Amino acid sequence: MKYKAIALVLAAPVIFVSCENPADKTADAKVSSAVEKSTSAEAGGTKYVFTPESQVNFIGSKVTGSHSGGFKAFTGHFTIKDGAPVGNDHKVVIDMNSTFSDAEKLTGHLKSPDFFDVEKFPQSTFDVTEIKKNSDTAYTVSGNFTLHGQTKNISFPATVSQGSGSVKIDAKFDIKRKDFGIVYAGKADDLIRDEVVIELKLEAKPEA
């Protein structure tokens, strides 16, 4: 009995870690109704398009653990002036059929009507409406995010860095899937959490 009690004590931290919510460690995106976007581009800005090194990833979790994934096919651009984003001509377009995860069975389920329903909603977009500069590298990005056929305006913190001929924008934040009509609950003893972590690692170079 003594040894069994010790084993339970040693196992407890492992169980706790597996049940953690990854979204507890990220900023919550502010979500509101979609806003009308002006079409004027910033004078003097240069269009930068995404390089193949760019990544759009996610982490979803349930009470028993978490899964990571992302999207293999997406396009997009920034408008850059003097090494910094300007105006609101910045956009990401995601091919939802390119969804992947760390488990083949899960990937198929994510593409089904229970989650992304990629046959009905083959594309998601993030169209920037405003970028607010907080410091030399820190920004607040706001934009209309269309997912699962629903559009909301979301705002989140991002970091901008300039490299040799390229600009990178990195962000990590969480959204609530139910805000976008994705309501699949999971099994009664293995409930899926509402929060999903989004991680953006975007690199762009001047359009050729």
Structural contact between residues 128 and 90, judged by C-beta atoms closer than 8 angstroms: yes
Please report the pLDDT score of residue 42 as a whole number: 58
Task: Tell me the helix, strand and coil percentages in the chain, rounded to 5.
Answer: 20, 50, 30
- Domain-embedded: residue 37: yes
pLDDT in tens, 155-176: 999 999 998 899 999 999 999 9
- Domain-embedded: residue 112: yes
pLDDT value at 9 more than 80: no
Structural contact between residues 26 and 197, judged by C-beta atoms closer than 8 angstroms: yes
pLDDT value at 5 more than 70: no
- Domain-embedded: residue 35: yes
Q: Where are the alpha helices (DSSP H) in the chain?
A: 2-19, 104-111
CATH number of the domain residue 176 falls in: 2.40.128.110
Which residue, chain included where needed, has tokens 């581009």?
41
pLDDT in tens, 22-63: 999 999 999 999 999 876 555 678 999 999 999 999 999 998
pTM for the predicted model, two decimal places: 0.87
- Domain-embedded: residue 14: no
DSSP assignment letter at 64: T
Which residue, chain included where needed, has tokens 């196992």?
11
Please report the pLDDT score of residue 11 as a whole number: 42
Q: pLDDT grade, residue 10 (50/70/90)?
A: very low
- What value does the mean pLDDT of the chain take? 90
Please report the pLDDT score of residue 15 as a whole number: 37
Across residues 143-150, what is the average pLDDT? Answer: 98
Structural contact between residues 157 and 170, judged by C-beta atoms closer than 8 angstroms: no
Structural contact between residues 170 and 181, judged by C-beta atoms closer than 8 angstroms: no
Across residues 190-204, what is the average pLDDT? Answer: 95
- Domain-embedded: residue 55: yes
Which domain, by its residues, includes 85? 21-206
Domain tally, the chain? 1
Type of residue at 45: G
